[in-house]
C-alpha cells in the first residue's frame, strides 16, 4: 500500500515510479501538471495515474502544490457498491441496509434514514 504526502515548490518535479499498479493523486492545495498531458489539475481533484507507467508530476511556475499520493495492488475479489456501502459480500450490504441508522444530532430531532428510493434498488 502506498500513501504519501508530497509538497512541491514552484516548478518542482516529483517522479512517481510504477512500483504499484493502481496509483492516484489527490490535490490538497495548489495546482499540478502531469508531464506529457495538457493542462493543469487543481485543488480537490483526484487524478488516476496510468498503470505501469513512470509519471512525472510538476508544480507550475509561480505555484506550489500539496498532494497525497495513494495506491497499491489491485484487490483480487470483486467489490459491491451500494449508496455509501462498499463490501466484498453482497449479503453484508443487504445487512448494512437493514442496520442503517443515523442517530439524531444532539439537540436536534432529525433522524437520517436510508433513502426509500435506494432501499429496494439493486447494486
Per-residue pLDDT reduced to its tens digit, 67-82: 999 999 988 889 999 8
Contact in structure between 106 and 123 (CB atoms under 8 Å): no
The per-residue pLDDT for 104 is 63
Beta-bridge partners for 46 = 26
CA 68, distance to chain mean position in Å, is: 10
**Same domain, yes or no: 100 and 64:** no
* Claim to verify: residue 7 and residue 66 sit in the same structural domain: yes
> Residue 84 pLDDT more than 70?
yes
**Which structural domain range is residue 90 located in?**
80-119
Residues 57 and 38 in one domain: yes
24 lies in the same domain as 8: yes
Are both 44 and 102 inside the same structural domain? no
Question: If pLDDT is split at 50, 70 and 90, which confidence band does 87 have?
Answer: very high
Torsion angle in degrees (nearest 10) through CA of 103, 107, 110, 114: -20
> What average pLDDT does range 25-43 have in this prediction?
95
**Do 52 and 88 sit in the same domain of this protein?**
no
Same domain, 58 and 9: yes
- Specify whether 59 is located in the same domain as 87: no
Nearest to 11 by CA among 62, 76, 78, 51: 62
CATH of the domain at 30: 2.60.120.10
Tell me, yes or no, whether 62 and 18 share the same domain: yes
Q: Is the pLDDT of residue 107 over 90?
A: no
Residue 30's H or E segment, with its range, is: strand 22-34
Same domain, 67 and 94: no
At residue 111, the pLDDT reads 64
Is 38 found in the same domain as 14? yes
Q: How many domains does the chain have?
A: 2
Comparing 117 with 50, the larger pLDDT belongs to: 50
Q: Residue 100: which pLDDT band, with cuts at 50, 70 and 90? A: confident
* Confidence class for position 108, pLDDT limits 50, 70, 90: low
Same domain, 20 and 43: yes
The mean of the pLDDT values for the chain is 88
- Residue 28: which of 64, 75, 81, 73 has the closest Cα? 64
Amino acid at each position: 500500500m502506498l500513501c504519501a504526502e508530497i509538497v512541491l515548490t514552484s516548478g518542482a518535479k516529483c517522479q512517481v515510479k510504477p512500483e504499484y499498479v493502481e496509483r492516484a493523486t489527490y490535490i490538497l492545495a495548489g495546482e499540478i501538471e502531469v508531464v506529457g498531458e495538457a493542462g493543469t489539475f487543481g485543488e480537490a481533484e483526484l487524478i488516476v495515474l496510468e498503470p505501469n507507467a513512470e509519471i512525472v508530476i510538476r508544480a507550475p511556475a509561480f505555484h506550489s502544490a500539496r498532494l497525497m499520493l495513494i495506491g497499491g495492488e489491485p484487490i483480487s475479489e470483486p467489490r459491491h457498491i451500494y449508496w455509501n456501502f462498499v463490501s466484498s459480500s453482497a449479503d453484508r450490504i443487504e445487512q448494512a441496509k437493514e442496520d442503517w441508522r443515523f442517530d439524531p444530532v444532539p439537540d436536534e430531532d432529525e433522524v437520517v434514514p436510508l433513502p426509500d428510493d435506494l432501499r429496494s434498488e439493486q447494486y
